[in-house]
Chain A
Amino acid sequence: DTGVSQNPRHKITKRGQNVTFRCDPISEHNRLYWYRQTLGQGPEFLTYFQNEAQLEKSRLLSDRFSAERPKGSFSTLEIQRTEQGDSAMYLCASSLGSGGPSSTDTQYFGPGTRLTVL
């Protein structure tokens, strides 16, 4: 399967614990995005990488959220000190950016990681 993969698919944790999610983009894609989706809503943009550079992180929901893409391939999203309000689906997408930061390209989404905070 050459699509975007995310692990784990489901995560149940207790309030106050830290969690980390992984996203493996389509292999040749240089751009990677994280979104959060709560029940009945559309996805909400969180952050964006071009290769290993995090170009937009102002939309991360709080300083408990952080993301990395150390070698420009896979990415991790970490949530520290989880709260019940963090329960949601976390979606990763990737794209092949052929131009500058303002160019547009089709984003391909992974299946998501569903987080439940008890």
Chain B
Amino acid sequence: KQEVTQIPAALSVPEGENLVLNCSFTDSAIYNLQWFRQDPGKGLTSLLLIQSSQREQTSGRLNASLDKSSGRSTLYIAASQPGDSATYLCAASHAGNMLTFGGGTRLMVKP
């Protein structure tokens, strides 16, 4: 059974810092790895999707990497802003597009 773990569980940084969120998974037989953002009381917004054959994806200030062999993914956020404050979730995809989510990292960016 796939298990997805995210470290740290919570993170507080001053505005402008670059930061890295970590995600690890136990079963490397994944179809893709996705990163989502969730604002309090809201649904999830897809940020980046890395196919199993890819190593990384970039969107604006966000860069996600995938290392299937070691069971790790990272989300890099450059020049963080207060508007980046949210919970960030990673999810591993399996057959049937079933997603297994980590517990999330709660990010607070202070002005």
Q: Number of contacts between A and B (CB, 8 Å)?
A: 72
**Secondary structure type dominating chain B contacts:** strand
Asked if A106 contacts B99 (CB within 8 A), the reply is no
Asked if B101 contacts A42 (CB within 8 A), the reply is yes
Residue picked from A33, A43, A56, A95, most chain B C-beta under 10 Å? A43
Asked if A102 contacts B31 (CB within 8 A), the reply is yes
Interface residues of A in 43-93 (CB under 8 A from B): 43-45, 48, 55-56, 59, 91, 93
Interface string of A92-104 (1 = CB under 8 A from B): 0101010001111
A interface, CB within 8 angstroms of B: 4, 31, 33, 35, 40-45, 48, 55-56, 59, 91, 93, 95, 97, 101-112, 114
Asked if B42 contacts A97 (CB within 8 A), the reply is no
Interface stretch, picked from B14-22, B44-52, B74-82, is B44-52
In the complex, which residues of chain B have a beta carbon less than 8 angstroms from the beta carbon of A45? 98-100
